[in-house]
Structure 1
Amino acid sequence: MTTTPDPPPLAAERERRLHPWSWLFVLIGSVRQFLVPLAVLVIFGGRREEGVQLLVAGAVVLVLALVSVWRYFTYRYRIDGDSLIVRSGLLERSLRQVPFSRIHNVELRQTLLHRLFGVAEVKLESAGGTRPEAQMRVLKLDDALALERLIRHRGRDVAGPAQGEAGGAAEGDTLLALSSAEIVRLGLISNRGMIVVGAALALSWQVLPENMVKRAFDLVWREAFGYVEHLDGGSWATALAIAGVVALALVLVRLFSVLLALVRYHGFRLQAHGRRLTVERGLLARVRSSVSRRRIQAWTLREGVLHRWFSRRSLGIDTAGAQAEGSEAQSRDPPELAPIATPEACDGLLRELLGDAAWPPEGWQPLHPRAWQRLLVGDAVFAALLVAGLCWYLGPWGLLGLLWLPWGWLLATRHARFAGYHADARLVAVREGWWSRHWRFAEIDKLQALQLRQSPLDRRFGMASLWLDTAGAGAASQPLRMRYLPEAQARELYAGLGRDVARRQLRW
């Protein structure tokens, strides 16, 4: 989505239609949902029923086209003061009023086809619910940018006195921009290529005929090991050849991750437009999303092993937006303010956005002295089950499963040494992990529920855990957990935070 001059303000009290080609994009989106079943029906059906299959597929597409055109002629929207009015439906009519102040997230999306037609898809979300408040497919690009700009400034009259302020802030202050080199590092760090390849294999196993998938695997297996058997050098050469094939596959998958990162994050920019943050990214499909700062409910810093090798971290947020369900929740991307950045850049960004809150905290409180023993219990149970299963199949050789215990002990001790918590008048934070670390924190004004938890093992070890919920906590977000604290400290912290939350106004 290229930067354009300020679009003209939207006229109030005038009903507008979607773009004349909106029916085409609605049709494409609908067909995409039925694309795999239709392809399976047409390609793998019997020859005798080929005509019937094509007729059924054509009828489905025709019905979807009629529904798409119907949606275009029955969908209207207009600006009414500080609200958006959406009217839709013919037989069952709907009139929806969405105040700008209740819109938390604004997303503009442009695929290659959108850019060709000069249009964009607009999605407006509020806190709560499982669906967007309004999803406009599609608007003229200037109208989409004007609507986003109007919402960004909370319904102020951009044609009046605030126009100069809004126009001056149209570009915003760039807080973070990723170069191509940084995006390549992000691709090397991420496992997106492995996820996509695994999902493609799983989909192929479910969609394609079972015999076809098995034949493909058998062919690859025979070709690979047939080549290895022709090598001279005995078992060592065979082992090295197999290791080389595996290494080559991993390299190719990692290069695929780099390609996906370049397509996804090309031109990434994080900008501040007054009280809203805007993220723009994408090479083929451009996505521009906007969220109010005060809608941010929790923050997460992540640092895996590969992050540490490259001296990088990632920063994500939870927002008080609509929580999707089903396939939409699985396809929705977690909000990212910094997909990759140096630790210093992440800390500077947090200090900029949190204002007077101190980050990183100076005093981290440790966990219970026996927290590593509590963490080791899970690994001990897993090792016992692993040994039992291996001994069933391998006999005495299954005792090698006990080697998991030293690794579990290392993870538990390192985790307990690194983990800690912090609470002050503004923030409550927790850090966990060792092999893969994360810092998760929230402002006390954003907390809305506290739980003190104790399992039988926790009571045996004399410890307790605090679980803190914010308005942005959804199915895809991890709760803010302060685990394995000394029981006395946990109860004291629970009482203190409970008093603070009770007397402060929830800001979301």
Structure 2
Amino acid sequence: MTTTPDDPVDSGDRRLHPWSWLFVLIGSLRQFLVPLVVLVVFGGRREDGVQLAAAAVAVAVLALLAVWRYFTYRYRIEGDSLFIRSGLLERSLRQVPFSRIHNVELRQTLLHRLFGVAEVTLESAGGTRPEAQMRVLRVAEALALERLIRHRARASDDGAAAAADDDVQTLLTLPTMEIVRLGLISNRGMIVVGAALALASQVLPDNGFRQGFDYVRREAFGYVASFNGGGTSTVLAGIALVLLALVLLRVFSVLLALVRYHGFRLQAQGRRLTVERGLLARVRSSVSRRRIQAWTLREGVLHRIFRRRSLAIDTAGAQVQGSEGQSREPPELAPIATPAACDALLQDLLDVPDWPPRDWQPLHPRAWLRLWLGDIVFAVLLAAGLAWYFGAWGFLGLLWLPWGGWLALRHARFAGWHVDTRLVAVREGWWSRHWRFAEIDKLQALQLRQSPLDRRFGMASVWLDTAGAGAASPPLRMRHLPEAQARALYTGLGREVSRRRLRW
């Protein structure tokens, strides 16, 4: 997506690309791909061919609807809004003000690139679906629309700052070796394999899936059993087999990372951030800094080994789903970067002189014991289950108690919170850490929570809500504080939130 477009001017109704119906048809077929394949593969053996005829009729109907959608879909740019006229039988005219658009995403698959087109998705804070999804526009038109939205939305957001410098500043790029590290750190290979197994168990016949699983199991155990050098050789062979599977999964994760994040580039233009990535399918997402609701820094065990972190954001449109119902991920500002690079990004984007904060406030002195209670219950249940199955050896499950206690102690020492005139920040974890923070102007609601155990320990927690927090984002909460401190914090933050204007 390197074409440099001219800004479009206000004009009459416009159509999508002439091949738009083809991409709409492909999107529709993707939703019915599994039942169509099952119908053709397992129903095509009948002599009368009823299943094949039904599949052909279904595809023909979908194609007709796609062509009809192309002829009934119009859009126009008028003033500071985008007007979209659509509908097959029931016609609708939708007005989308540029100032309400939070995210702009341009997506190009291999087929898109072959036809020189791109899919444009516009997201706002409301609803669970995009405000507009244009499949498809010419690349030049898509980039021109993105640029127009950026300029006119900025004029609405920043007023006199609309005339600011338009120079593009590259904040972060990922070379190939960084993407390889990202693949080694992530678990995408395991997730994809698990999803493939789940899909196979649903699509394949029960006996076919079971036979395939039994075949792999027999081959694996047969390989281990072939070592007749005694129990030690058998154990070593089994360990080697497990290690080989883990290595293959990591290699798969690296390949997935290279496909997803090849050519990753984070750029700033005025007050808007743009992320572009992808090897086969190119994705270009654009969001205004003002629309960012919360930030998350993550540092898992493998992150710490490689001395890396990741930085993600929540936007008000984070819950928006695509046309096929899939969840749309918010832009990742830094899928992987050094801690120093992440801190520099945050200082620049948040415009704060000092990050991370120096004055982290601790938790309640007995917070580690409160955290340990969950491990105590888990260890007791684990030992009871193992003892029922293995006998007295099962009580070795109680060894989880000192490990859980040590983790709880380290977690409580690392955890903390910080509040100043602009930011609310928390940090949690130890084995796997995260920092979660948001501007006070972005807070929408506060809760003071106390469980019966919290009351027994003299503790309380303050939970904060922002717009757009997804299921994958950790909650913004200050847990296990002294009760008096939690109540004072709740009152003070509530007073600040009530007197400030919500900015989203």
In the superposition, the TM-score normalised over structure 1's length comes to: 0.95
Q: Which residue of 2 aligns with 1:271?
A: 267
Q: Which residue of 2 aligns with 1:68?
A: 66
Give the stretch that moved more between structures: 276-285 or 326-335. Answer: 326-335
Q: Which residue of 1 aligns with 2:119?
A: 121
How far apart, CA to CA, are the structure 2 residues paired with 1:502 and 1:156? 26
Letter in 2 for 1:150: L
How far apart, CA to CA, are the structure 1 residues paired with 2:26 and 2:322? 21
Q: Which residue of 2 aligns with 1:59?
A: 57
Letter in 1 for 2:416: G
Q: Which residue of 1 aligns with 2:172?
A: 176
How far apart, CA to CA, are the structure 2 residues paired with 1:434 and 1:330? 32
Q: How far 1:334 moved relative to its partner?
A: 4.0
Kindly report which structure 2 residues correspond to 1:22-101, keeping only aligned pairs within 5 A, or say none: 22-45=20-43, 47-48=45-46, 51-101=49-99
Contact 1:83/1:155 (8 A) holds in 2: no
How far apart, CA to CA, are the structure 2 residues paired with 1:263 and 1:284? 6
Give the stretch that moved more between structures: 8-17 or 58-67. Answer: 8-17
Give the stretch that moved more between structures: 389-398 or 259-268. Answer: 389-398
Give the stretch that moved more between structures: 441-450 or 207-216. Answer: 207-216
How far apart, CA to CA, are the structure 2 residues paired with 1:322 and 1:254? 29
How far apart, CA to CA, are the structure 1 residues paired with 2:309 and 2:184? 13
Q: How far 1:48 moved relative to its partner?
A: 2.4
How far apart, CA to CA, are the structure 2 residues paired with 1:74 and 1:155? 28
1:491 aligns with 2:487: yes
Give the stretch that moved more between structures: 12-21 or 325-334. Answer: 325-334
Contact 1:318/1:473 (8 A) holds in 2: yes
SS in 1 for 2:381: helix
Kindly report which structure 2 residues correspond to 1:6-405, keeping only aligned pairs within 5 A, or say none: 7-45=5-43, 47-48=45-46, 51-154=49-152, 169=166, 172-321=168-317, 323-324=319-320, 331-356=327-352, 358-405=354-401
Give the stretch that moved more between structures: 258-267 or 198-207. Answer: 198-207
Q: How far 1:8 moved relative to its partner?
A: 2.3
How far apart, CA to CA, are the structure 1 residues paired with 2:345 and 2:11? 40
How far apart, CA to CA, are the structure 2 residues paired with 1:331 and 1:194? 19
Q: How far 1:155 moved relative to its partner?
A: 5.5
Q: How far 1:301 moved relative to its partner?
A: 0.2
Q: Deviations over 1:39-79 (max 9, x none)?
A: 11111237226611111110110110011001000000010
Q: How far 1:220 moved relative to its partner?
A: 1.7
How far apart, CA to CA, are the structure 1 residues paired with 2:154 and 2:443? 30
RMSD between aligned residues: 1.9
1:507 aligns with 2:500: no
Q: Deviations over 1:391-412 (max 9, x none)?
A: 2222222211111112211111
Contact 2:461/2:486 (8 A) holds in 1: yes
1:467 aligns with 2:463: yes
Contact 1:372/1:413 (8 A) holds in 2: yes
Contact 1:431/1:440 (8 A) holds in 2: yes
Q: How far 1:328 moved relative to its partner?
A: 6.3
How far apart, CA to CA, are the structure 1 residues paired with 2:373 and 2:325? 33
SS in 1 for 2:119: strand
Give the stretch that moved more between structures: 243-252 or 38-47. Answer: 38-47
Contact 2:363/2:480 (8 A) holds in 1: yes
Q: Deviations over 1:90-131 (max 9, x none)?
A: 431100110000000000000000000000000000002011
Give the stretch that moved more between structures: 83-92 or 366-375. Answer: 83-92
Q: How far 1:227 moved relative to its partner?
A: 2.5
SS in 2 for 1:151: helix
Q: How far 1:202 moved relative to its partner?
A: 1.1
* Aligned CA distance change for structure 1 residues 51 and 373 (closer, same or farther; 3 Å): same
Letter in 1 for 2:35: P
Contact 1:126/1:322 (8 A) holds in 2: no
Q: Which residue of 2 aligns with 1:457?
A: 453
Q: How far 1:373 moved relative to its partner?
A: 0.6
Structure 2 unmatched ranges of 5 or more: none
Number of aligned pairs?
Answer: 499
How far apart, CA to CA, are the structure 2 residues paired with 1:67 and 1:193? 37
Contact 1:130/1:324 (8 A) holds in 2: yes
Q: Deviations over 1:22-46 (max 9, x none)?
A: 0000000100111111111111237
Q: Deviations over 1:382-438 (max 9, x none)?
A: 112212222222222221111111221111111001100011111110000011000
Q: Deviations over 1:165-199 (max 9, x none)?
A: 79x73x61101111111100000000000100111
Contact 1:172/1:271 (8 A) holds in 2: yes
Q: How far 1:494 moved relative to its partner?
A: 0.7
Q: How far 1:248 moved relative to its partner?
A: 0.6
How far apart, CA to CA, are the structure 2 residues paired with 1:60 and 1:432? 52
Letter in 1 for 2:298: R
How far apart, CA to CA, are the structure 2 residues paired with 1:240 and 1:102? 61
Q: Which residue of 1 aligns with 2:3?
A: 4
SS in 1 for 2:137: strand
- Indicate the percent of aligned positions where both proteins have the same amino acid: 78
How far apart, CA to CA, are the structure 2 residues paired with 1:129 and 1:49? 48
Q: Deviations over 1:336-368 (max 9, x none)?
A: 100000000000000000113631101001100
Letter in 1 for 2:314: D
* Aligned CA distance change for structure 1 residues 96 and 239 (closer, same or farther; 3 Å): same
